[in-house]
Structure 1
Amino acid sequence: MAFKTDIQIAREASKRPIQEIGEKLGISSADLLPYGHDKAKVSQQFINSVQDRKDGKLILVTAINPTPAGEGKTTTTVGLGDGLNRIGKNAAVCIREASLGPNFGMKGGAAGGGYAQIVPMEEMNLHFTGDFHAITSAHSLLSAMIDNHIYWGNSLEIDTRRVVWRRVVDMNDRALRQITTSLGGVANGFPREAGFDITVASEVMAILCLAKNLEDLQTRLGDMIVAYRRDKSPVFARDIKAHGAMTVLLKDAMQPNIVQTLENNPAFVHGGPFANIAHGCNSVIATTTALKLADYVVTEAGFGADLGAEKFLNIKCRKAGLAPSAVVVVATVRAMKMNGGVAKADLGGENVDAVKNGCANLGRHIENMKSFGVPVVVAINHFVTDTDAEVQAVKDYVASQGSEAVLSRHWELGSEGSADLATKVVETIEANESNFAPIYPDDMGLADKINTIATKIYRADSAQMDQKILNQLKEWEDQGYGNLPVCMAKTQYSFTTDPNERGAPTGFDIPVREVRLSAGAGFVVAICGEIMTMPGLPRVPSAESIGLNDAGEVEGLF
């Protein structure tokens, strides 16, 4: 049987005018700011008007550690949203926007797949409504104003060796990781070392995704630490007087984007912080708005549950006052076999023993999610090569962990294939009260918070921090930042910092290489192992096969 490609399916979609999609959630045309016919922003005025409404039920979709075999977390998120609508529930989907860097690198698009997609797919994976460009511009404005302040006399007495504000660009470009700026003589300023991160790693991105409104956004932007003086006292963005203009640049980007699934159900696509170097969640304003408009809101957190879900629960929910009613952990038979030691080339053949051996990774994620006091359902994202015996092996294993696994065929059949999953999720929510709580309190020390995640989520023996890092954390605590949550930056492919270590390893430590204070976003980043805040392109980047066909359509993007 020949399957259509994702892009073929997306192009054949029967899209409805975005005003009709808004009407499903009670958003009038006057409250939508259209970007063409099939996407729009929801006005801040409308968002303000619905704040007294009761919240719907929040469902978090996460996954096992990613493997080259594929898991389909976004596809499952979209499929579940469509499935809930199919069984008569008023549901909306909330996902992140795609970064250009990975799209042209190796990841490809980020709008789902098969018959569980969000459209317009090409626009979402390219410039969309310009949010990322606005974030890049606001970040760049601050970068320019810092160096300009130093050039014109440096009245704030910034130590040019201690400028911690890096530049950003929304592209994978390893050549920019470490650079020297202001070369070329007196007219160009004072030479210093600097560097670039990818836009989605910007603290501005994290702030936009955690801010409740424009006032909160401006306050957080002003709270960002951009440099230090010789006495090591911090210099803030508000000292540079950049936060007002940055807010102006972000005014429209702050408003959530609404689009639709292939089945014409509403989807909010807003924000895009990386989950291995930031908190990796859809924006707070999009999620909280959706909860005021729909009875069920399905959202996802980036990468595996050890990264994205942990940060969703410990950072986003803590900061936004959210409490999920259920967590769906996505797994595939293929990924279980890879975790069980099968090479990617051999995944097509039945291997029940490998499935059973690989389930330990899934089991650890189930246990971790339950430790937050939230009921867990496992979604087995179906592949045509899966055999009944392999699927049953996963179901039996999950049952032994006190949860239930449901086979979902949304990629192939859309909501018809995810109706069973949707029904099970609703039953689980109705039968179980969520007793959600983060796994560490605000008043725990920063080093102890890092160690708690390393030992309780990753199951490491400890988090290794040298005295310099411990001193830095203590210094931040003394400055009043000790109540912040921690954001772990590590490889997404393993519970360890070794991306090749699959399964559920034990007997390892988590080396913390560096810590960074994101005072505006409101968290401390612990960079573990070899993780990069500016990715590079692979040997053969996806960009090589992306172009326009004779009909002027984009090819190769997904």
Structure 2
Amino acid sequence: MASDIDIARAAKLKPIQDIAARIGVPDDALIPYGRTKAKISGEFLKSLEHRPDGKLILVTAINPTPAGEGKTTTTVGLGDGLNRIGRKAVICLREPSLGPCFGMKGGAAGGGKAQVVPMEDINLHFTGDFHAITSAHNLLSALIENHIYWGNELEIDQRRVVWRRVMDMNDRALRQIVCSLGGVSNGFPREGGFDITVASEIMAILCLATDLTDLQQRLGDIIVAYRRDRTAVTARDLQADGAMTVLLKEAIQPNLVQTLENNPAFIHGGPFANIAHGCNSVMATRSALKLADYVVTEAGFGADLGAEKFFDIKCRKAGLHPDAAVIVATVRALKMNGGVAKEDLGAENVQAVKNGCVNLGRHIENIKQFGVPAIVAINHFTADTGAEVEAVKEFCAGLGVEAVLASHWAEGSEGTVELAEKVAVLAESGMAQFAPLYEDGLSLLGKIEAIAKRIYRADDVLADNSVRDQLRRWEADGFGHLPVCMAKTQYSFSTDPSRLGAPNGHSVPVREVRLSAGAGFVVAICGEIMTMPGLPRVPSANHIKLNDQGMIEGLF
């Protein structure tokens, strides 16, 4: 089969106006970015508020492995499948970050015959949203330094500036820096650092804001530093919120593209789920729910991170009520969780599949805790044997959940007809009794412990007194009602990426906590997770180039 980029390049794309018309978006509500992508105006989206909502379907997965799971591919394939069986469906995805594209993970536009297009544009720059977020974030950084340089009227304690800079690239050398070196004219030297743009609080704010007014309010609420008396200094205090909103006035509008089968897809916002809240924008999801009967969205990495944050942060904040969840698994990944090395995954090993199903089983149990009915999608690989697939189905049946084989990568929507039919029935069943994992009134540490113990199955949370004291100070300052966003390795339920399967008897060390007052959550940084990733020994960037015809090669 041809490569993803060759398949995408051969697709017959329709003008974006035709795609918009299918879901009732008129031409005058579109802001085109070429022929095949456009933003939808905020004014039009606001006019939809009176309409009833469609059914919301979350696609999540087991913990990722080098064997591959295909969550985004399944999201696209399911959306195409629902449209194929006559249901009006829209897909909602996150925008890819340049860091993984040039690093190890690659792009995030699906794969095979289940992709969103134009694939190169989506993976590289797209409509410029990430650049706008990066610029707004670093404008705030510049205004902090400038305020201190010109007299520091707000009495910012330079030792307590908490606002770091960002860039949309993996660069470990920038994790910790010293800035303002070079003499009096360059300001006052201090320690600082960079995070990747997807970890920026402004990324989270853009994805949780409901309109421009809400966006500016949230931007103003950002805490950038503290005074010597520990009182907070906000972006509003620096009069930065207006200019930041100006930089984001187009970025906040959702992006519309299409699948290979010319079905509508919103791609907007892109926080990672291992260091941020891992969901596409509230504006895109809410708009899709008004424009379609079914909305298929995904949350980053495994259900222990992406789905938990989708339920406990996005749905809680936006008042969303999911109707069904799809948990993606592959035979290959289950075998790896069962102890098989990557180079041996091609050989049949039913016992390893059964052993690895403990990871899938824990995710099924966790989804049930939120009161959302689930189905398992077995993302088919050609080397999977009938006995291995049957082992997965039997395991799921034992937990009262159906598992369906899906072959969308090779067959497109034809390979997801059965999955689409069963998901539609599940979403329409009325079985969903959604509730977040914890109540707003629980203490911040109590919320961290609830996730660690009930989702990760940890015995304990380890946190120094400095972390515990910080959480208590934020509670005293009126932030105790906020949900928590766990920053943790995506590869394991524990904080040790090598512990596959479903580990028990582990502890979750919280080394740092950060308050995202504008986004409306507290970040707990656990174990060795980094908010600025590094590149692998051989990054994908080494293989990406333009060929003699001026076309991109190596992007996947």
Q: What TM-score bracket applies, with the shorter chain setting the length?
A: over 0.9
Q: Quick one: which amino acid aligns to residue 487 of structure 1?
A: C
> Following the alignment from structure 1 to structure 2, what is the Cα–Cα distance between the partners of residues 544 and 336?
30
> Following the alignment from structure 2 to structure 1, what is the Cα–Cα distance between the partners of residues 324 and 428?
10
Q: Secondary structure of the residue that 1:468 maps to in structure 2?
A: helix
2:447 corresponds in structure 1 to 449
Does the CA-based 8 Å contact 1:324-1:374 persist in structure 2? yes
> Following the alignment from structure 1 to structure 2, what is the Cα–Cα distance between the partners of residues 430 and 108?
35
> Following the alignment from structure 2 to structure 1, what is the Cα–Cα distance between the partners of residues 487 and 460?
16
Deviation of 1:192 (Å): 0.6
Deviation of 1:386 (Å): 0.3
Does the CA-based 8 Å contact 1:115-1:414 persist in structure 2? yes
Is 1:143 the equivalent of 2:141? yes
Q: Secondary structure of the residue that 1:160 maps to in structure 2?
A: strand
Q: Secondary structure of the residue that 2:191 maps to in structure 1?
A: strand
> Following the alignment from structure 1 to structure 2, what is the Cα–Cα distance between the partners of residues 429 and 211?
26
2:416 corresponds in structure 1 to 418
Mapping 1:379-390, distance limit 5 Å: 379-390=377-388
Does the CA-based 8 Å contact 1:64-1:362 persist in structure 2? yes
Does the CA-based 8 Å contact 2:323-2:428 persist in structure 1? no
Instruction: Flag structure 2 segments of 5+ consecutive residues without an equivalent.
Output: none
Q: Quick one: which amino acid aligns to residue 366 of structure 1?
A: I
Q: Quick one: which amino acid aligns to residue 265 of structure 1?
A: N
> Following the alignment from structure 1 to structure 2, what is the Cα–Cα distance between the partners of residues 139 and 62?
29
Choose the corresponding residue for 1:175, options 160, 163, 173. Answer: 173
> Following the alignment from structure 1 to structure 2, what is the Cα–Cα distance between the partners of residues 219 and 237?
10
> Following the alignment from structure 1 to structure 2, what is the Cα–Cα distance between the partners of residues 150 and 432?
56
2:372 corresponds in structure 1 to 374
Deviation digits for residues 217-264 of structure 1 (CA, Å, limit 9, x no counterpart): 000000000000011111000001000000000000000000000000
2:466 corresponds in structure 1 to 468
Does the CA-based 8 Å contact 1:378-1:404 persist in structure 2? yes
1:159 corresponds in structure 2 to 157
> Following the alignment from structure 1 to structure 2, what is the Cα–Cα distance between the partners of residues 324 and 381?
22
1:74 corresponds in structure 2 to 72
Instruction: Flag structure 1 segments of 5+ consecutive residues without an equivalent.
Output: none
Mapping 1:105-124, distance limit 5 Å: 105-124=103-122
Q: Secondary structure of the residue that 1:354 maps to in structure 2?
A: helix
1:32 corresponds in structure 2 to 30
Which shows bigger deviation, 56-65 or 420-429? 420-429
1:323 corresponds in structure 2 to 321
Choose the corresponding residue for 2:429, options 428, 431, 438. Answer: 431
Q: Secondary structure of the residue that 1:240 maps to in structure 2?
A: coil
Q: Secondary structure of the residue that 1:488 maps to in structure 2?
A: strand
1:403 corresponds in structure 2 to 401
1:254 corresponds in structure 2 to 252
Is 1:280 the equivalent of 2:278? yes
1:96 corresponds in structure 2 to 94
Q: Secondary structure of the residue that 1:238 maps to in structure 2?
A: coil
Choose the corresponding residue for 1:209, options 193, 207, 210. Answer: 207
Deviation of 1:430 (Å): 2.4
1:21 corresponds in structure 2 to 19
Deviation of 1:432 (Å): 4.0
2:347 corresponds in structure 1 to 349
Deviation digits for residues 464-516 of structure 1 (CA, Å, limit 9, x no counterpart): 11211111101000000000000000000000000010000111110111111
> Following the alignment from structure 2 to structure 1, what is the Cα–Cα distance between the partners of residues 131 and 311?
28
Q: Secondary structure of the residue that 1:492 maps to in structure 2?
A: coil
1:126 corresponds in structure 2 to 124
Q: Secondary structure of the residue that 1:180 maps to in structure 2?
A: strand
> Following the alignment from structure 1 to structure 2, what is the Cα–Cα distance between the partners of residues 530 and 82?
38
Superposition RMSD in Å: 0.5
> Following the alignment from structure 1 to structure 2, what is the Cα–Cα distance between the partners of residues 50 and 553?
40
2:484 corresponds in structure 1 to 486
Q: Quick one: which amino acid aligns to residue 12 of structure 2?
A: S
> Following the alignment from structure 1 to structure 2, what is the Cα–Cα distance between the partners of residues 537 and 436?
39
> Following the alignment from structure 2 to structure 1, what is the Cα–Cα distance between the partners of residues 528 and 340?
26
Q: Quick one: which amino acid aligns to residue 61 of structure 1?
A: V
Deviation digits for residues 296-354 of structure 1 (CA, Å, limit 9, x no counterpart): 00000000000010000000000000011000000000011000000000000100000
> Following the alignment from structure 1 to structure 2, what is the Cα–Cα distance between the partners of residues 435 and 258?
31
> Following the alignment from structure 1 to structure 2, what is the Cα–Cα distance between the partners of residues 50 and 497?
43
Q: Secondary structure of the residue that 2:438 maps to in structure 1?
A: coil
> Following the alignment from structure 1 to structure 2, what is the Cα–Cα distance between the partners of residues 360 and 547?
41
> Following the alignment from structure 1 to structure 2, what is the Cα–Cα distance between the partners of residues 159 and 336?
51
Does the CA-based 8 Å contact 1:375-1:432 persist in structure 2? no
> Following the alignment from structure 2 to structure 1, what is the Cα–Cα distance between the partners of residues 430 and 19?
31
2:10 corresponds in structure 1 to 12
Q: Secondary structure of the residue that 1:516 maps to in structure 2?
A: strand
2:545 corresponds in structure 1 to 547
2:222 corresponds in structure 1 to 224
> Following the alignment from structure 2 to structure 1, what is the Cα–Cα distance between the partners of residues 467 and 399?
38
Q: Quick one: which amino acid aligns to residue 292 of structure 1?
A: K
Is 1:333 the equivalent of 2:321? no
Deviation of 1:462 (Å): 1.4
2:83 corresponds in structure 1 to 85
2:289 corresponds in structure 1 to 291
Q: Quick one: which amino acid aligns to residue 379 of structure 1?
A: A
> Following the alignment from structure 1 to structure 2, what is the Cα–Cα distance between the partners of residues 431 and 171?
43
1:524 corresponds in structure 2 to 522
> Following the alignment from structure 1 to structure 2, what is the Cα–Cα distance between the partners of residues 216 and 357?
48
Deviation of 1:74 (Å): 0.1
Deviation of 1:361 (Å): 0.2
Deviation of 1:425 (Å): 0.4
Q: Secondary structure of the residue that 1:499 maps to in structure 2?
A: coil
Q: Secondary structure of the residue that 1:227 maps to in structure 2?
A: strand
Q: Quick one: which amino acid aligns to residue 274 of structure 1?
A: F
Q: Quick one: which amino acid aligns to residue 457 of structure 1?
A: I
2:509 corresponds in structure 1 to 511
Q: Secondary structure of the residue that 1:286 maps to in structure 2?
A: helix
Q: Secondary structure of the residue that 1:345 maps to in structure 2?
A: helix
> Following the alignment from structure 2 to structure 1, what is the Cα–Cα distance between the partners of residues 171 and 539?
12
Does the CA-based 8 Å contact 1:374-1:434 persist in structure 2? yes
Is 1:534 the equivalent of 2:532? yes
> What's the % identity of the aligned pairs?
72
> Following the alignment from structure 2 to structure 1, what is the Cα–Cα distance between the partners of residues 155 and 395?
61
With normalisation by structure 2, the TM-score equals 1.00
Q: Quick one: which amino acid aligns to residue 537 of structure 1?
A: L
Deviation digits for residues 190-240 of structure 1 (CA, Å, limit 9, x no counterpart): 111000001110000000000000000000000000000011111000001
Q: Secondary structure of the residue that 2:237 maps to in structure 1?
A: helix
> Following the alignment from structure 1 to structure 2, what is the Cα–Cα distance between the partners of residues 470 and 192?
26
Deviation of 1:431 (Å): 2.7
Does the CA-based 8 Å contact 2:57-2:427 persist in structure 1? no
> Following the alignment from structure 2 to structure 1, what is the Cα–Cα distance between the partners of residues 495 and 242?
39
Q: Quick one: which amino acid aligns to residue 303 of structure 1?
A: F
Deviation digits for residues 15-52 of structure 1 (CA, Å, limit 9, x no counterpart): 00000000011001111000000000000111011110
> Following the alignment from structure 1 to structure 2, what is the Cα–Cα distance between the partners of residues 429 and 277?
30
Which shows bigger deviation, 293-302 or 425-434? 425-434
Q: Secondary structure of the residue that 2:499 maps to in structure 1?
A: coil
Does the CA-based 8 Å contact 1:18-1:259 persist in structure 2? yes
Does the CA-based 8 Å contact 1:516-1:526 persist in structure 2? yes
User: How many residue pairs are counted as aligned between the two chains?
Assistant: 556
> Following the alignment from structure 2 to structure 1, what is the Cα–Cα distance between the partners of residues 196 and 464?
27
